[in-house]
Amino acid sequence: MAKAPALTAGFELPLEPRLPRIGSVDQVAVEERAASLARRSIKRDAKVFALELAVRCMDLTTLEGADTPGKVAALATKGIRPDPSDPDVPSVAAICVYPNLVPTAVDRTRGTSVKVASVATAFPSGQSPTEIKVQETRAAVEFGADEIDMVIDRGAFLSGRYAKVYDEIVRVKDVCGDTHLKVILETGELGTYDNVRRASLLAVAGGADFIKTSTGKVSPAATLPVTLVMLEAIRDVYEETGRMVGMKAAGGIRSAKQAWQQFVLVNETLGPDWLTPELFRLGASSLLNDVLMQLRKEKTGRYQSLDYFTID
């Protein structure tokens, strides 16, 4: 699994001297730019490429209190072979589950290219003591997770305790070791695009391999303007330090069209080299079937019905 290299000097805290460079974001302009990119017309083989990419970049997710080994086993099977009737459809990038379900997920994906991502750090609220969050992360890693999706402490962020937010990320990253870390900003709670940009840069400074929009439990989640703001922050880091941090859009992405609109943003903000599961992921559950339906429509010329696709 790809791993971001060590931080270069100048990106650590304290952030105060760096604040003038963090910059602000104009809401109207960023929403207009995102809307304009969303109107790109993607057809035929460009569309098929995007649909297959959507599968390859997907973190197929179940994060419910009611999850059981049976549910996760079924999800893993779906993720490994999304469309049994079409062997050309690739596997998803990863299965994303709660820590207790990691052993089942690891077991069912063994020998395949599908990774196991685990949420941790008192997901989704993040409102627990740091020690607990670190321990939970360690447990998920020991269960065999390839990737950890942590949440930032929004309470600390919104009350200005940025150092606390930063420290937690550093400590979680530390126990991750080689395990790849995604940091969830929960953009729907941050209130402004300025805050999304600040949180993005803070997470990157703390050592994130990926920054992620949302837990999927709060709306709005991965809107196009939010993705754009995060991609621009990633671009700034890349230009200043050469470090490539990935981005995961999660929450509210239910249709194939929304998925490829996200890809257009990546393509035109960072470039086609970033259109790979190493650097971009979509966190979703019902999205997969919509993508499969669209793929089959491209291949057969007919609009599809859900009756012909398994739920899992």
**Residues annotated catalytic, as ranges:** 149, 212, 248
Judged by CB, which is closer to other proteins: 216, or 246? 246
Judged by CB, which is closer to other proteins: 131, or 239? 239
Least separation in angstroms between CB 258 and other proteins: 17
The C-alpha atoms of residue 43 and residue 80 are separated, in whole angstroms, by 27
Bond from prior residue into 277 cis (ω within 30 degrees of 0)? no
The backbone torsions φ and ψ at residue 301, rounded to the nearest 5 degrees and listed phi first, read 85, 0
CA nearest neighbour of 284 among 262, 255, 253: 253
At 120, list the tokens.
């941790």
E strand or H helix at 73, and its extent? Answer: helix 69-80
At 41, list the tokens.
């017309």
Contact between 1 and 146 (Cβ < 8 Å) = yes
Number of H helices, E strands in the chain: 12, 8
Contact between 143 and 117 (Cβ < 8 Å) = no
Judged by CB, which is closer to other proteins: 34, or 203? 34
Binding site for other proteins (CB under 8 A): 1-5, 23-26, 28-30, 32-33, 39-47, 49-50, 52, 56, 90, 113, 232, 239, 241-244, 263, 267-268, 272-273, 275-278
Judged by CB, which is closer to other proteins: 82, or 277? 277
Least separation in angstroms between CB 244 and other proteins: 6
Judged by CB, which is closer to other proteins: 17, or 242? 242
At 30, list the tokens.
């960023």
At 284, list the tokens.
């979703």
